[in-house]
Structure 1
Amino acid sequence: MNKDNLFKDGISLTPPDLIRYEHTLKDLIQEFLPFESYSLYFPKPAKGQFRAELSFSYNEEEGELLLPLRLRGRGLCYFIARGVKLSSPDTTPPYLEALATCSLEKILLYKTSITDKLTGMATREYFMTKLVKELDLIQNCMMPAPGGCKDPGIPTFSGSVGVVVLDLDNFQRINDRYGYSIGDDIISNVASYISDAVFESVICARIFDDKYAFLIPDGRPKVCARLAEELRALVESRPVEDPVTGDILKITASAGFANYPQSLSGPHFKRSAEEQSRILMRKAAKAVATAKDSGRNCVFAYSDILKRGGKVLEILPLQRLALSIGHSVDAREGGRFLVWSPDYQSGTQVNLTEDERISGSYPTMYKAEIVVIEVQDEIAFAEILHLSDPAWPVTEGDRLTMLDEKDSFFDTQAGPESSTAPQRDIVTGLYNYKEFIGRYSRKRQNMDKFSVAVLRLAANPAEQGGNFQKLTDAQVQKVASRAESFFDESCMGGRYSLNSLIYFFPHEESDSVMEKILRLVRECLADFDIDLAAGVASFPFLNYRRSEILDNCRKGLDHSLMMERPMVAQFDSVSLNISADRLYVDGDIYGAIEEFRLALLADSDNILARNSLGICYAQVGKPEKARKQFEHVLEITPKNIMALYNLGWACQMLGNRDRAREAYEKCLELEPENVFSLVRLGVLAEQDLGLDEAEKYYLKAAELKGGDSLTMRHLARLAYARKDVNKAREYLHLALNANHNDAHAMNLLAQLYLESGEDPQIAEVLARQSAALKPSRNEFWETLADTLDVQGKKDEAKKVRSRI
């Protein structure tokens, strides 16, 4: 709930609301009062007063009118209109004030419609609307760079957003035992103190009964994890006493979060912002469900579900298991997991003497290693590769921990071939997965060169109707039969999963294997109408170990699924590009750098990889290395706009403004409507050529599509430098209307409110938001400290300055 509400028993407008809805208010007032320019003024209350006394004022000579904005008898602020001509200044004021109040009532009505009455939070509908808008803005304001990279020096949207969902645990039991009235009180109270705990920029909503959601601008995974844990701990720390029975009710909550774009995968990005918002919410809800399934009162990230949130659902014949992970959490065939029992996670205590006691907890003991052989939407099926102890079987409810193949227990036990009969797949006659991996691990150990290929049915047979497994088996059998007709006898094949096959080619290089796989894919399409995708990887390749080739093959398969027919990809520089882009989107910039460097080792002319590597270098504070990469790209493709712009950015970071200006001007020669280059030239002109020259660039950029959101803050800065405070304020409000997360605009607006002697609480709200959005900017914290000083909050201001 808002602490500044004017009325405790209902929804009302606050000063921050007036700033938020300022443009709506301006349009409503302009319907009955023509004016040339305007501003809001929040007078500082007199000493001992809660609100300043407001009175109508009109200066006919200067055409300036101070219109009090009152709601239900309480003064909020002045609407200052300039360029006003009143024909009847003596009789008009009461009517203007009444019409202004009607405008406020309209805004209040809208606020009421988007506010949950019980909690004072936003409604689910409003939350989803804001989430859709956030995703839409991010999509429209991405810089032209791989992985969605953008120029952090330009006030576009952050390119990231987080959604945290908090769900009270076992809350229905409280309703059933103590009544819905106390349940509502708890929901309301929890909403109140968790809303107070988050930053102003976070949108808080009640999305269902006892479930809350939080939309976090620039919400990267670490930020969301920290907020989710703080809210969970806050709920746990506030027990509730039942006034009737005196019972103390301990309230706990489970939290989950998902991030955009990190939690979405390739096909999701082709959908609309509306679809993506629902996918993101579903993923956050999946994380909450996993938290509850893992014992409640904990936090789960969507990205952690696959790593440590799965469990065994059912024990099947032939050492197979049904698992709680599927395509919905990005599970893949071939993924390996360790199985452990949650029953052995408790502690133990031993009394040495009457006064001395020692305690400890059992280390995690793994029962088995398993491999995923089939993945469906919500579940997967796996095969047991290795049991730690045959007397300790896997049971329903056992938990899963994801395992890197290089750490596999199964692989390290590869020894001489067993004398027992090999285990074969009934449908294809090829080795089953476990048998294939065991033989492959042994045979590759001392081999100088070899290749591996994985083939997958590109179309889902289930879409054709009928029995899914029967159709899949029939198609896989045809593929295996055709492969056997022209693959060498030395080639070893296996059933990799329900819809895929794997082949090992000893002593063969990738080019000859690629020819065979391409022939197989084409023949299966022509003769059987079976569409296949295939990935091929070989050893030796760069500095990869033999044990890493199968993973490279899977990356090649991912690459192939993004291609046109024939969908066959050899693991190469492009595959590494795709893998690096995924690391970049996940926030692992250093991991992306390593993959991009490997891509360039494989192909030094890979322009996309080199440009992306330069972007990564710039983002980790190595502009000189970035500059060299962009210059290398331009040696190969002199008209590469992306590289030209990024070169200008790197030179600007290095302080070489002349070289930066030259790069941006070349961008404009190739693309005259390149908004970002115009803004950058405006910034350089502001530093070297003067305000008038900078204004030309900004105004030109503002006329182009998407330019208004990029230029308003810069134009406000120019107006501020020219001492035109009213124009600066107007531009800043336009900037925030275009991008409500523009921290720089918020900070400058807070300074304007502070310098004008208005209510410093308004400046404080804006300063807090800007500092929350950009905590690394020391000047934002200084502005916040100044607003606290003015209000006499010296101790709090001192704490804020200690962060600088």
Structure 2
Amino acid sequence: MHKDNLFKEGISLTPQDLIRYEHTLKDLIREFLPFESYSLFFPRPPKGQFRAELTFEFNPANGQLNLPLQLRGRPMCYFIARGVQIEDHEAVAPYLEGLASSVLEKMLLYKGSITDSLTGMATRDYFMSKLVKELDLIQNCMMPTTGGCKDPGIPTFSGSVGVVLLDMDNFQRINDRYGYQLGDNIIADVAARISKAVFESVVCARVFDDKFAFLIPDGRPKACARLAEELRALVESVPVEDPVTGDLIRISASAGYANYPQSLSGPHFKRSAGEQARVLMRKAAKAVATAKDYGRNCVFAYSDILKKGGKVLEVLPLQRLALSIGQSVDAREGGRFLVWSPDYQSGTHARITEDERISGSYPTMYKAEVVIIEVQEDIAFAEILHLSDPAWPVTEGDRLTMLNEKDSFFDAQSGPEASTGPQRDIVTGLYNYKEFIGRYSRMRQNMDRFSVAVLRLASNPAENRGNFQKLTDAQVQKVSSRAETFFDESCMGGRYSLNSLIYFFPHEESDAVMEKILRLVRECSADFEIELAAGVASFPFLNYRRSEILDNCRKGLDHSLMLEKPMVAQFDSVSLNISADRLYVDGDIYGAIEEFRLALLADSDNILARNSLGICYAQVGKPEQARKQFEEVLAIMPRNIMALYNLGWTCQMLGNRDKAREAYEKCLELEPENVFSLVRLGVLAEQDLGLDEAEKYYLRAAELKGGDSLTMRHLARISHARKDVNKAREYLHQALNANHNDAAAMNMLARIYLESGEDPQIAEVLARQSAALKPGKDQFWETLAMALEVQEKHEEAAQVRARF
């Protein structure tokens, strides 16, 4: 465990702490000891001794001072200061050593304030501060491109962060039965094992009694899923025995995770980094709660809750259900789900017994198909569309699996009209959802032209006092009555959800329908003070099938919610942009490419779509195709900075440095404070024009907002090339202060320690962290192998080299 009984509450400083806070340590010592350069050195103890003895040493000839750093009598390391001037070093030695010890005391106090005394992990407050900082850094360093795409060639921050929460299962029962002392021992043991298992770059915290949180820089969903499952398995494997009764206690944990930006939606990105951090934690907690509900001792992603984590909370009259999913997990009206019983969830498995009988389990049996008709914050209401067997009813606790409309086993061709009469909504007189979908599915089959419109109440009647459903019904009834006054008789209407209406316009084009919908929206606003949002989609449009028009209409509705009043949108190129951006944020770059291409088919002058398509091509390793997109944008809009910068980027990827330099320089002509172009020009200058010219670009960028974090590593590289190791070290520390997960800066600093013959242990720690952050970089593993070999750890070095 990360505990040391020498100090109060088991918290002490470790060599790793001194390396991690080396820059702070340097600043504190400089307050009482001027020096030109410095380094840390951790001497090895002589054989047979636990610790090395440290002595004060000063060499007046070269001004080098070896200042022992000792905490409460415990030797830690030497702070080697160079360029020191001391007249009577023997007289001042005790004072300098005392001041150095006080520096360590300050650092110990700080560590104590951010460390949980039982586990040695970080506290919740510290964890949240790190998460907020991480999100803030990402926001500040994202490129100004659609979807928040950043330039991967600039030393900035990852566009993704993962949060994993781990919650012990039924732990209060252990505390109640065996006592809190045993419970604390279990928590401390689990925390110690976890801390040894995770990478140094992962921030581990105890956020409540038996709950842990993990912050994963560059935490893509796959990395979070892998870590969460490893932690779950680790907890399950911990042996626990009650020393009093001898009982063997089985422990387990449930885990959930959420990712930034994938788990956040549009409105969330308008909030501050602090607010976004809390939203992300809440979503991860929702995933843990779903894992608990699913039977505990399992892992759930926030993104999977809507797909397979919902359940039936209550069976209501009139074929209605209350579900456990709501706005908090992005549930939407019109969403369809299959309902199944957890008692019949096993997959197909069969075998022949000894007496030649067939034995085994059966595939999951689905009870029903349902559609969401109303969504609230944490729950939704659904209507049953189809029962597989009337004798097998839906019951409380049944599970949900999201279903695409095209995969529905509800037979729209033979359903509603087979009944004795049409099923209508009692409030509006329009068809209910089930009846409307059945009729719409049949009527559209052989129709050459038609349009669909969905209207939703833009304001929530629940914000006013009174019964939510009563207020909603009153507003929807007014909207449907007004629509009836000027919609043609051929138009078919339906109740799409509690707060939405849907209309089918046979043989009508979208422009004519848009006029009617705009009139309806304006009249409802003026006469009833009812604000509506509406989406309209038509067939034919591009290569979409008839069955896809309703989904296009939903995308048009999403588009409308982003507009000023009147909030009416026709499914078009912009709607496809919005849909593609969502796919990009979710990590589906190839899906985004297809949507952006469709957006350009709909409107070849869609600048945002073309820019975004180019960015996606570059992301998937197709720079030539990306270059063509940016050039086409500039043919339409020569002063488009986004396209100019991205053209420079792709030309640089293709090796055409002159063309790249020309594009970046045009960016600066239009926007002199474009930090990213300055950094890129600096990189090109290093390759072609020399270090002095490159340094001018970097220093100019460093003076601008956000430029310091982008340029420090580049400036360090220039100083290192000039053999100015001390300046390079200083720049690298500044780079790591700005971005504590800058793997390349860590690796360069480790190399400097090795090249200068200083403590190889520090080089090893830095190299391990850089390799953990970027395991695909062979040069980082090579640095680690070199650090191990210097310490004569040849077997470990060979194991490291075997990895690349």
Q: TM class, shorter-chain normalised?
A: over 0.9
Structure 1 CA distance for aligned equivalents of residues 48 and 607 of structure 2: 67
**DSSP 3-state at the match of 1:155:** coil
Q: Distance in 2 between matches of 1:359 and 1:197?
A: 42
Report the counterpart of residue 455 of structure 2 in structure 1: 455
Q: Secondary structure at the match of 1:605?
A: coil
Structure 2 residue matching 1:638: 3-state secondary structure:
coil
- Asked if the contact 1:415/1:442 (under 8 Å) is kept, the reply is no
Task: Give secondary structure in 2 for the equivalent of 1:66.
Answer: strand
Give 1:489 shift. 0.3
Q: Does 2:785 align with 1:785?
A: yes
More moved, 238-247 vs 1-10: 1-10
Cα distance per residue 1:257-311 (max 9 Å; x no partner): 0011111111111111111111111110100000010011100000000000000
Match of 2:536 in 1: 536
Q: Aligned residue for 2:464? A: 464
Q: How does 1:203-214 map to 2 (within 5 A)?
A: 203-214=203-214
Work out whether residues 44 and 757 of structure 1, in 8 Å CA contact, stay in contact via their aligned partners in 2: no
Question: Which residue in 2 is equivalent to 1:432?
Answer: 432
User: Partner residue of 1:607?
Assistant: 607
Partner residue of 1:382? 382
Q: Could you say which residue in structure 1 is the equivalent of 2:800?
A: 800
Matching of residue 722 in structure 1 with residue 722 in structure 2: yes
Residues 46-445 of structure 1 aligned to structure 2 (within 5 Å): 51-345=51-345, 352-353=353-354, 360-411=360-411, 413-414=413-414, 417-418=417-418, 420-445=420-445
Asked whether the 8 Å contact 1:200–1:765 carries over to 2, the reply is no
Q: Give SS of 1:409's match.
A: coil
Q: Deviations over 1:720-745 (max 9, x none)?
A: 11222222111111110010010100
Hey, what's the Cα distance between the residues in 2 that align with 1:783 and 1:85? 35
Structure 1 residue 110: Cα displacement: 0.6
5 Å-filtered alignment, 1:573-588, equals 573-588=573-588
**Deviation at 1:466?**
1.8
- Any idea what SS the aligned residue of 1:480 has? helix
Match for 1:249: what amino acid? I
The superposition leaves residues 304-338 of structure 1 with CA deviations (integer Å, 9 ceiling, x where unpaired) of 00000000011111111000000011000000000
Kept in 2, the 8 Å contact 1:43–1:758? The answer is: no
8 Å CA contact retained: 1:369, 1:410: yes
**Which secondary structure does the structure 2 equivalent of 1:65 belong to?**
strand
Instruction: Give distance in 2, aligned partners of 1:704 and 1:620.
Output: 31
Distance, in Å, in 2 between the alignment partners of 1:197 and 1:784 is 19
Residues 17-61 of structure 1: per-residue CA shift (max 9 Å, x gap): 112222322232222223344333344555666554433233334
Q: Do the aligned partners of residues 788 and 553 (structure 1) sit closer, same or farther apart at CA in structure 2, a change above 3 Å counting? A: same
Asked if 1 retains the 8 angstrom alpha-carbon contact of 2:412 and 2:442, the reply is no
Q: In structure 2, do the counterparts of structure 1 residues 358 and 785 end up closer, same or farther at CA, with 3 Å as the change threshold? A: farther
Could you say what secondary structure the match of 1:590 adopts?
helix
- Within 2, Cα distance between the matches of 1:339 and 1:376? 20
The secondary structure found in structure 2 opposite 1:92 is helix
8 A Cα contact 1:577 1:609, kept in partner: yes
- Residues of 2 paired with 1:308 and 1:720: CA distance? 53
What's the secondary structure of 1:592's corresponding residue?
Answer: helix
Instruction: For 1:206, give the aligned amino acid.
Output: R
Residue 760 of structure 1 deviates from its aligned partner by 2.7
Once the two structures are superposed, residues 470-497 of structure 1 have per-residue CA deviations (whole angstroms, 9 ceiling, x without a partner) of: 1111111111011000000000001111
**Aligned twin of 1:644:** 644
Q: TM-score, with normalisation over the residues of structure 2?
A: 0.97
Task: Report deviation, 1:416.
Answer: 8.6
Deviates more, 1:38-47 or 1:201-210: 38-47
Question: Are residues 652 and 48 of structure 1, via their aligned partners in 2, closer, same or farther at CA, if it must alter by over 3 Å?
Answer: farther
| 1:496 paired residue number | 496
Unpaired runs of 5+ in structure 1?
none
Partner of residue 667, structure 2: 667
Cα distance change of structure 1 residues 300 and 389 upon mapping to structure 2, 3 Å threshold: same
Decide whether aligned partners of structure 1 residues 184 and 413 sit closer, same or farther in structure 2, where only a CA change above 3 A counts.
farther
Q: For 1:554-578, what per-residue CA distance to the aligned partner results, in whole angstroms no more than 9, with x for missing partners?
A: 0100000000011000111101111
CA RMSD of aligned residues (A): 1.9
Aligned to 1:632: 632
The offset of 1:587, in angstroms, is: 0.6
Q: By how many angstroms is 1:146 displaced?
A: 0.9
Change (3 A) 1:410 1:709: same
1:372 partner SS: strand
CA distances 1:228-253 after superposition (whole Å, capped 9, x unpaired):
00111111122212222222111111
CA distance in structure 1 between the partners assigned to 2:95 and 2:519 by the alignment: 84
Alpha-carbon distance between aligned partners in 2 of 1:230 and 1:359, rounded to the nearest angstrom? 34
* Distance of 1:415 and 1:249 partners within structure 2: 55
AA of the residue aligned to 2:149: C
Alpha-carbon shift at residue 141 of structure 1 (Å):
1.1
Equivalent-residue separation in structure 2 for 1:694 and 1:349 (angstroms) = 69
**Partner of 2:21 in structure 1?**
21
Q: Helix, strand or coil: the match of 2:417?
A: coil
3-state DSSP of counterpart to 2:10: coil
TM superposition shift of 1:710: 0.6
Q: Distance in 2 between matches of 1:244 and 1:403?
A: 52
* Aligned counterparts of 1:714 and 1:359: Cα–Cα separation in 2: 67
**Residues 44 and 759, structure 1, Cα contact 8 Å, conserved in 2:** no
Kindly provide the CA deviation profile for residues 645-665 of structure 1, in whole angstroms up to 9, marking residues without a partner as x. 111110111111111111111
1:30 lines up with 2:23 in the alignment: no
Amino acid of the structure 1 residue aligned with 2:270: K
Q: Distance in 1 between matches of 2:745 and 2:640?
A: 32
Moved more, 172-181 or 298-307: 172-181
**Secondary structure at the counterpart of residue 612 of structure 2:** helix
Alpha carbons 1:335, 1:372 under 8 Å: kept: yes
Give, in whole Å, the separation in 1 of the partners of 2:240 and 2:715: 52
The letter of the residue matching 1:268 is H
SS in 1 for 2:17: helix
C-alpha distance in 2, partners of 1:115/1:418?
68
Q: Note the C-alpha offset of 1:758.
A: 3.3
Quote the offset at 1:62 in angstroms: 3.7
State the SS of the aligned residue for 2:32.
coil
Deviation for aligned residue 1:756: 3.0
- Cα distance, 1:690 vs. partner? 1.4
